[in-house]
Structure 1
Amino acid sequence: MKVTKKAALACSAIALAFAGGIACSRGATGDVANADGADWGSYGRTSDEDHFSPLTQISDSNVSRLGLAWSMDLDTYDSFTAPLEVGGVLYFGVGSSVVSAVDAVTGKQLWQFDPEVSKVVGHKLRAGWGTRGIAYSQGRVFTATRDGRMIAIDAKTGKQLWSAMTLDPKDDAYISGPPWVAGDKVIIGFGGGDYGPVRGYVTAYDVATGKKAWRFYVVPGNPANGPDGEASDSVMDMAAKTWTGEWWKVGGGGNVWHAMAYDKKYDRVYLGTGNGFPWNQKLRSPGGGDNLFVASIVAVDRKTGKYLWHYQVNPGNTWDYNDAMDIQLTTLNIEGKPRDVILHAPKNGFFYVIDRTTGKPISAGQFAPVNWASHIDLKTGRPVENPKARYPDGEPFIMWPSPTGAHAVQTMSYNPKTGLVYIPQIEQQRVVTDPPNLAEWKYKEGMFVNTGLGPVPAGMKTAAPSSNLVAYDPVAAKVRWKIPQSGMINGGTITTGGNLIFQGLNTGKFTALAADSGKTLWEFDAQNGILGNAITYTVKGKQYVTVITGFRSSFANTPNWDYREQKRRVLTFALDAKAKLPPVEPLDQPIQDDPAFVVDADKAKIGGGVFNSSCIICHGAGMIAGGAAPDLRKSAIPLDADAFKQVVHDGALMDRGMGKFDNLSDAELEGLRHYIRQRARETAQPVAPNPAAK
């Protein structure tokens, strides 16, 4: 998008007004120095990634006066993200990595950068999600795109400075996670470990030039191909000894698709690695083994990418548990001694306190219901597993937590004043079992979900999912308190020196709670569910709080935010502000049908297979959408064969995030239409209403 001279000058003026001052000071490597909390310049505010702000102007004693300062509507299909703020300017990316700069006080847009992902992304758009964040350093904003580009943008003008392609355009890897800045390096991983035979790695680039500095492979490649040339041979040899069979034919997985952290004290980067591909270890590594470095935290040298240590949370992972959740750095007083530690609450339900110098676990208490293991043996660092959890001989197992995790990517926060970590916790079960013909399982091409698991046997039921806000004490290794919350998934948390927790909820409320007790002190009707975390900062001495609304899930929630009804907005708050949101105008979207459409059960069966392997993540389990994409039962497009083909096969809506599935045959497309009609008629009763639609 062309940036006007006026907008560029406005942005420059704001930057100059704060440059060199408290609000926007720069360290030796150009990072935002946030000791006073004036700026929120990185994902977790500082490189400690703790989502804590020391600001106290807004506190538990006056938060009841908090009001809306301004709002900004967003024209996007996805807004599961949090902004950054530097020198009085908000920066955020939504949808297909479209980045905006906005005056933090007035909400005036200064510039917008669109990488035009839909024109080049190809089949990688099928993964479905938008972007989860951006990074900032040395006057540059960094974003990564679904097709695999790492892009540096001038923070003053919105113009592209450099772009580097990090992925092979032909494979099933894609990027939805944020970049991470580590000194003069900006680092990116990628996703794809649910879709195809990709081999996880992370790549570091020079912040100023975009030149590749190093690459670290998470899992070993084909031994016949020899050394990678970009990773230690001895490290990859060590990792290869923990795999069996011909794992390289299915890639191995281990993708670093979200969390990392830069440890300034030790000048190292911690990588949170993902699940193996496919999930079922019997398929990717049939002889067992730990499968390094899947489901691990791996420490590497910032300058070179050289391996330093690892801690594997789930050896031989076979459940989609992974370590893409927050990696937070702090110092705790444990048994009378200060210890530099990592705080980590991954999917598997255990909260880990890990020594940053050695990678050894110090404690591992439960923060959610767990039955896949009884405990973590701190002497070995290994979980003491329930043998039934590996579904031996395909025996179905009802597992706590589910692959969604006891903690997903919604941020947790650590408050050094209270000593507590605030986790948006999930309680959900899942039945895990082998596919009917394990020996005949084959990878299905085309960005379909390939878990390697079988369908849930008839008659097996799981408990209704729920959620809580959990306050966990990492020194005592125990839950101090928890507050039941609505639905299954709620927003990320931040916490402040004013004894506050800010969290958005799936009810559509944006809330402030007391950090010591969890008591709700204030709430605002945001008119939409919220998943991204808030940020807080000061401009000219005044404290603001900003959050972006937007909700998505692969599961229906209560309330259930319809994709087309969502009010995706930037909301900014300050003490005694009086702005108002416009009234909600609900859409009337009944389930569609055509009595003349006769469902063919055989065709619907074909369509069900396609839906459950490629459509379910966005359009919802059981075809009851959770806000990530339109509810297909309410759409008239599937009733028109030609229109349906244009959207699904030809990619008519790629610019709105709908991938092009040109590998589907006419029979599969027709099957989908019949399955949609079948599910529409089976579920033709009201779903939970949008609470704002009154």
Structure 2
Amino acid sequence: MNIVHKIAAAARHGLWGFALALATASSAAAVESQELLKHASAGRDWPAGGGTFSEQRFSPLEQINQGNVGELGLAWSLELPDVWNVSSTPVAVDGVIYMAVGYTVLYAVDGHSGRILWTYDAGTDPLKMRMGWGIRGIAYWEGRVYAGVQDGRLIALDAATGELAWEVMTTEPGDNRYITGAPRVFNGKVLIGHGGADYGRVRGYVTAYDAATGQQLWRWWTVPGNPADGFENPAMEMAAKTWTGEWWKSGGGGTVWHAMTYDPDFNRVYLGTGNGSPWNQKLRSPGGGDNLFLSSVVALDADTGEYVWHYQTNPGETWDYNSSMDMVLADVQLDGTARKLLMHAPKNGFFYVIDRQDGKLLSAGKIAKVTWASHVDLTTGRPVELPGVRYPDGESIIYPGPAGAHNWQPMAYSPDTGLMYIPTREMAGYYDDRGITQENWSPTGLMPVGVKLFFDDIPRSAATTYLQAWNPVTQRRAWKFDTPGGTNGGVLVTRGGLVFQGRSDGDFSAIDADTGALRWRSPMGVGTQAAPITYEVDGVQYVSILAGWAGSPMLMGSLSAQSGWVGRAYPRRLLTYRIGGKASLPPSPAPLATVTPLAAPDFQVDAEAAERGKLVYATKCMLCHGAAAVAGGYAPDLRASPLPLQAAAFDGVVRDGAMLARGMPPFPEFGDAELNDLRHYIRQRAEYEPGLIERGRFYGHMLWVMFKMKLMAWGLLG
């Protein structure tokens, strides 16, 4: 029972009981919330995105187990027709599910029946909607729900009523920062970071606020600013020695857009920092250097925000290998000694085991195909990079690519099995900065990341995915379970010996945590990336998951489109299961095998206009409408749309925001010429069919770049 319910119960016993309850409410609530987030009431609650402070995503509940999971059925479902992205992890406290979807629309839902208790729409700034991602999680503390808003606000709502308690702007007006990650709460504080390093000039930071009032308590910058302005703290002065050139003019990057973990054993917070701004180190820090604190795990004092230690996964990061993936805390026996560990699987394909006390790297192993480094030197803690990976001649093809071997979809750790369960992707990355120089590049231009953007469709065969069980002690894989498509959801593991995961093909599955065998699956009516949660109400264990295909899969063209969830016809829903559940899944359209481009023989494509439009599209439109205009998710496939055929209607939607209510943000900065170029590019893509010779040239070029890198690795090419 949370403190709000306790005060209400005390009030029923008279004024004295009510007064006494109020007098002790603040301290009692703080202790209760701290304990709740440490232990999650033995599994009855799921009060944080990672379950507890440890972020293990492990539940001690075992009512649903390997023996009876075949009896698992739908208990209830909730349709969410007015939101586009549900790639979010809910929380559950005292039988109530709290969740944020789309551009931060919050719901409180009865966890037993699925009845909506309240909703709150944060009303995101339309210009920030164009970042496309949507919110990925929320936090709970002392009877309040906390959420970031994509336009940079942090809000606190009364958990009982949904009324706004306070809000604060965490970013600066007009900057490129935005929020998609979940806040973290601890010690009466709420911590939030931001994204934006891929969109232009951004310098990363995290900020701690008073959870009761919203007053700013401390801020820690992740990369140094202009030395002429002085440094905020000794850590920034230290970091500045690892940068060269005038890095502050491009921002630097290092945004903490997702991963933050609180450690009650040391009263520290750990930050997983992002890539550089721009990605390309030749432009960002032309003389090289480690560029602290990019792509790092950084430990800060939780009360003051003072630097304690760091470990950098990619010194001199230049591939979008951010370390913004979840960090899991656990006490594990290593060589007969109990160690307090931090375990981390960032984009770069390695699994890191770090001592939380001092930040020392204990081991690192490859969890997927990795060709950018041979290994990590445990003496220095540094990766041993292979020749050619920094695209010295302008091109490199390496594994993994910027999508990462493990991305933000969370992994889970079971203290019962000692295994980490990791949603994994194997996909190469092609980096090309030919023709991009310090003189012609700008952080506010059409190639803000400093390498050429995706101009080609991403084929269905470009990636494989699987769920794997990884042993962090031996740095060996225990088992592997192949999954469909190029992206799949985060996971949950339980004492019942099950790993739950939503998949791109629309199935919700339960995998044997010991063997990797499929134990159960059930259709959701749509694919998902969201991670499931589990909780208990009146002695009954439930498992809930948000289902809906949007977010990062929209970016990947045919790789994402193969799952078949292209367009707005497919549902967004919250599904909740229990043993013996008998509810029926609401109907939804069958997956769409292919999208047929609209024929328009009267539209004469201007090749020069289309070439200009290609760059505008890749910079402004691709995130939602897909690589090479091949849609992969919620946003419609523009090749099949009649809108580009009508200049006035196209202008009204793209520039003036005529479809804002349906999630299409306006682009008022576009002039007539850019809008015309976009129309010609979209129609060119609608007419495009690569022939065998063109495909052969493409793959031949890719193979030649990889062969050159092999020659460099063998010392046969300088």
Give the TM-score taking structure 1 as reference length: 0.92
Provide the C-alpha distance between the structure 2 equivalents of 1:441 and 1:655, rounded to a whole number of angstroms: 38
Alpha-carbon distance change, 683 to 106 in structure 1, aligned in 2, over 3 angstroms: farther
User: Match of 2:388, SS?
Assistant: helix
Cα distance change on mapping 1:18 and 1:174 into 2, 3 Å: farther
- The one-letter amino acid of 2:444's match is E
Q: Is the 8 A contact 2:247 2:285 kept in 1?
A: yes
Letter in 2 for 1:262: Y
- Among 523, 526, 530, which residue is 2:524 paired with? 526
How far off its partner does 1:464 sit?
2.6
Residue number among 192, 198, 202 corresponding to 2:196 in the alignment = 192
Kindly indicate which of the two structures has a greater share of residues assigned to helix: 2
Q: Does 1:408 align with 2:414?
A: no
**Map 1:350-499 → 2, pairs under 5 A:** 350-394=350-394, 396-443=395-442, 445=444, 450-454=448-452, 464-499=462-497
Residue 30 of structure 1 pairs with residue 30 of structure 2: no
User: How much has 1:427 moved relative to structure 2?
Assistant: 0.5
- Please state whether the residue corresponding to 2:242 is helix, strand or coil: coil
When residues 15 and 133 of structure 1 are mapped into structure 2, their CA distance, relative to the original with a 3 A threshold, is farther
1:537 correspondence with 2:535: yes
Q: Of 141, 150, 154, which aligns to 2:158?
A: 154
Code of the aligned partner of 1:311: Y
Distance 1:522 1:622, change over 3 A: same
How many Å separate the matches in 1 of 2:574 and 2:633?
18
| Deviation, structure 1 residue 27 | 5.9
Q: 1:145 and 2:149 equivalent?
A: yes
Which whole-Å CA distance do the structure 1 matches of 2:91 and 2:372 have between them?
A: 38
| Deviation (angstroms), 1:45 | 0.5
Summarize the Cα distance change of 1:458–1:584 in structure 2 as closer, same or farther, 3 Å threshold: closer
Q: Classify the secondary structure of the residue corresponding to 1:34.
A: helix
What do residues 203-232 of structure 1 show as CA deviations (whole Å, max 9, x unaligned)? 00011111101000000001111233xxx2
Which of 676, 679, 685 aligns to 2:682? It is: 676
Q: Which range is displaced more, 425-434 or 43-52?
A: 425-434
Instruction: State the alpha-carbon separation in 1 of the partners of residues 539 and 90 from structure 2.
Output: 20
Find the counterpart in structure 2 of residue 180 from structure 1. 184
Q: Deviations over 1:530-557 (max 9, x none)?
A: 1000000000111000000012311132
**Offset at residue 144 of structure 1 (A):** 0.8
Instruction: Tell me, yes or no, if the aligned pair for 1:177 and 1:258 is still in contact at 8 Å.
Output: yes
Percent identical pairs in the alignment equals 49
In structure 2, do the counterparts of structure 1 residues 18 and 613 end up closer, same or farther at CA, with 3 Å as the change threshold?
farther
Moved more, 581-590 or 354-363: 581-590
| 8 Å CA contact 1:565, 1:586 repeated in 2 | no
Looking at structure 2, the residues matched to 18 and 525 of structure 1 have their Cα atoms a distance apart, in angstroms, of 45
| Mapped contact 2:436–2:450 kept (Cα < 8 A) | no
Distance verdict in 2 for CA 1:650–1:189, change over 3 Å: same
> Any residues of structure 2 matched to 1:644-663 within 5 Å, and which?
644-663=650-669
Measured in 2, the distance between the counterparts of 1:83 and 1:14 equals 24
1:123 counterpart = 2:121: no
Deviation at 1:596, TM superposition (A): 1.6
Conserved? CA contact 2:453–2:619, under 8 Å: no
Alignment-derived partner of residue 701 in structure 2? none
Residue 107 of structure 1 is matched in structure 2 by 114
Give the Å deviation of 1:377: 0.4
**Whole-Å Cα distance in 2 between the matches of residues 110 and 164 of structure 1?**
25
Paired residues of 2:193 and 2:257 also in contact (CA < 8 A):
yes
CA distance in 2, matches of 1:667, 1:410: 39
Residue of structure 2 aligned with 1:560, choices 560, 564, 569: 564
- The alignment partner of 1:172 has SS state of coil
| Distance apart, 1:597 and its partner CA | 1.2
Secondary structure, counterpart of 1:28 in structure 2: helix
Distance 1:551 1:144, change over 3 A: same
| 1:49–1:582 CA distance, 2 compared to 1 (3 A) | same
Q: Contact 2:87 / 2:135 at 8 angstroms: preserved in 1?
A: yes
| Equivalent residue letter for 1:426 | R
Deviation at 1:481, TM superposition (A): 1.4
Change (3 A) 1:459 1:264: closer
SS state at 2:51 partner: coil
Q: Confirm or deny: 8 A CA contact 1:348 1:406 kept in the other structure.
A: yes
Would you say how many aligned residue pairs link Structure 1 and Structure 2? 662
Distance 1:18 1:368 in 2: 56
Match of 2:716?
A: none
Kindly provide the CA deviation profile for residues 225-246 of structure 1, in whole angstroms up to 9, marking residues without a partner as x: 1233xxx2x2111000000000
Helix, strand or coil: the match of 2:122?
coil
Per-residue deviation, 1:283? 0.2
Q: Cα distance 1:585–1:13, how it changes in 2: closer, same or farther (>3 A)? A: farther
User: Which residue pairs with 1:43 in the alignment?
Assistant: 49
Residue 64 (1) aligns with residue 67 (2): no
> Is 1:611 the equivalent of 2:610?
no
AA of the residue aligned to 1:548: L
Cα distance change of structure 1 residues 672 and 300 upon mapping to structure 2, 3 Å threshold: same
Question: For 1:504-526, what per-residue CA distance to the aligned partner results, in whole angstroms no more than 9, with x for missing partners?
Answer: 01010000111001111111110
SS of aligned partner of 2:535 = strand
CA contact (8 A) 1:436 1:454 kept: no
Alignment-derived partner of residue 3 in structure 1: none
Residues 123 and 583 of structure 1: CA distance in aligned 2, closer, same or farther (over 3 Å): closer
- 1:81-116 deviation digits (Å, cap 9, x = unpaired): 121100010100001101000111111101001111
Q: State the shift of 1:565 in Å.
A: 2.5
* Aligned mates of 1:175, 1:400 — CA distance in 2: 28
Alpha-carbon spacing, 1:627–1:684, altered in 2? closer, same or farther (3 Å):
farther
Shift of 1:642: 1.4
**Aligned equivalent of 1:345:** 345
1:26 Cα deviation from its structure 2 partner:
5.9
Query: Partner letter of residue 382 of structure 1?
Result: R
| Letter aligned with residue 193 of structure 1 | A
- Residues 262 and 409 of structure 1, relative CA distance in 2, 3 Å threshold: same
Q: Corresponding residue for 1:222?
A: 226
Q: CA deviation at 1:422?
A: 0.7
Q: Is the 8 A contact 1:88 1:539 kept in 2?
A: yes
More divergent stretch after superposition (367-376 vs 175-184)? 175-184
Distance in 2, Cα, partners of 1:583 & 1:236: 55
2:508 aligned with 1:510: yes
CA–CA distance in 2 between the matches of 1:16 and 1:331? Answer: 39
Q: Which shifted more, 337-346 or 460-469?
A: 460-469
Corresponding residue for residue 498 of structure 2 = 500
Residue identity opposite 1:514 in structure 2: D
**Equivalent residue for 2:704?**
none
Distance (whole Å) between structure 2 residues aligned to residue 459 and residue 159 of structure 1: 45
Unaligned runs of 5+ in 2: 12-20, 22-27, 692-718
What's the offset of the Cα at 1:293?
0.2
1: CA distance, partners of 2:427 / 2:162: 42
Matching of residue 598 in structure 1 with residue 595 in structure 2: no
Structure 1 residue 400: Cα displacement: 0.2
Listed as ranges, the matches of 1:62-101 within 5 Å are: 62-74=68-80, 75-101=82-108
Q: Is the 1:186–1:205 contact (alpha carbons within 8 Å) kept by the matching residues of 2?
A: yes
| Post-superposition offset of 1:170 | 0.9
User: Contact 1:344–1:351 (CA<8 Å) still a contact in 2?
Assistant: yes
In structure 2, distance between residues paired with 1:43 and 1:669: 41
Does 1:259 pair with 2:259? yes
Cα separation, 2, equivalents of 1:109 and 1:435 = 54
Change over 3 Å in CA distance of 1:15–1:487 after alignment to 2? farther
Give the structure 1 partner of residue 586 of structure 2: 582
State whether residues 197 and 255 of structure 2, in contact with CA within 8 Å, keep that contact through their aligned partners in structure 1: yes
Structure 1: unaligned runs, 5 residues or longer: 1-10, 686-694
Contact residue 345 and residue 351 of structure 1 kept, 8 A: yes
Offset of 1:652 from its aligned partner?
A: 2.4
1:457, 1:193 → 2: CA distance?
21
Structure 2 residue matching 1:437: 3-state secondary structure: coil
Aligned residue for 1:5?
Answer: none
